[in-house]
Amino acid sequence: MPDETTRDPLSIRGLQDAFGTPLKEFIGRLDSLVVEPERPVHFNFTEVDVIKSDEAYPFSTAVIDIPSSTRKQSKWGVFGTSLAEFLLPAEDLNSCVSRVLHMKMTEGHLLPNPTDEVDGAGIKIGTKWANVPKPAWEVIGLDGASAGNAAMTPADLAASILNGKRIQDFNGEALKNDTIRLDQALFSSIISGEFIKGLIATGKFAVDGEGIHHQMPIDIPF
């Protein structure tokens, strides 16, 4: 959903049936997470590539909201369970900041839904909970890995960060990543330069004339 500060207040386009985003499936880089008391967690995405939307979405940024919960049977639980498939045991949601997520709104999740119980006079006497099918956000890809594949190793993650970058840009991002920092051998090999040298020596990466690293094979003249 576009930022209300940038939306034309006189526009009649892009109206929504409810609060939220028209996006139903997209790939984007998780730029930040915003937590506010008694509010859903705001997921701020950049570099958004729209796959499915209820309406035209010409924006490169997006915000989706998911209510935090400790229960597996919740929208947070659906999201978290799908994300965990791609993560290493030591990783959590914060490890995904700056990484590329493939997000999809999926249907049919049986989740608790409250309804008012009323007496014969129409006065509320309580709340009844029942499981009803609801849509919820799921992660179906992370850094190019798709559902059903094993979680990326720290070295795989480092390689995905390197692709399309010069050494200084790679070091600036990779050395701040918590997953990479926890792997001391990998961390040391990146600092020493041996990690990149090894990828090039084994033919997994090549460097173009501008010093940008490319994962092989790729049809590009060097």
Tens of pLDDT, residue by residue over 162-188, are 988 999 999 998 888 877 888 889 999
Determine the pLDDT at residue 40: 93
Closest CA to 66 of 96, 113, 105: 105
The token pair at 59 is: 């924006």
Determine the pLDDT at residue 200: 92
In our burial notation (b when 16+ CB lie closer than 10 A, e otherwise), range 192-221 reads eeebbeebeeeeebbeeeeebbbeeeeeee
Question: Average per-residue pLDDT in the chain?
Answer: 84
In this model, does residue 13 exceed pLDDT 60?
Answer: no
Determine the pLDDT at residue 218: 52
Determine the pLDDT at residue 8: 59
Confidence of residue 219 (pLDDT cuts 50, 70, 90): very low
Determine the pLDDT at residue 152: 64
DSSP state of 99: S
Q: What is the largest CA-CA distance in the chain?
A: 80
Determine the pLDDT at residue 160: 84
Determine the pLDDT at residue 124: 81
For 208, the 3-state DSSP assignment is coil
Q: 39-77 pLDDT, tens per residue?
A: 999 999 999 999 999 999 999 999 999 999 999 999 999
Q: 19-31 pLDDT, tens per residue?
A: 578 999 999 999 9
Closest CA to 104 of 23, 14, 193, 7: 23
Determine the pLDDT at residue 182: 81
Report the CATH number of the 153-222 domain.
1.10.10
Taking a C-beta distance cutoff of 8 angstroms, is the pair 208, 214 a contact? yes
Boundaries of every domain in the chain: 1-150, 153-222
Q: Is this model's pTM higher than 0.85 or not?
A: no
Full 3-state SS string of 100-132: EEEEEEEEEEEEEEEEEEECCCCCEEEEEEEEE
Determine the pLDDT at residue 117: 81
Mean pLDDT of 188-204: 93
Taking a C-beta distance cutoff of 8 angstroms, is the pair 141, 102 a contact? yes
Mean pLDDT of 121-143: 87
* Selected residue with higher pLDDT from 119 and 192: 192
- Alpha helices (H) in the chain, listed in sequence order: 75-84, 154-162, 167-174, 178-182, 184-192, 194-201
Taking a C-beta distance cutoff of 8 angstroms, is the pair 134, 75 a contact? yes
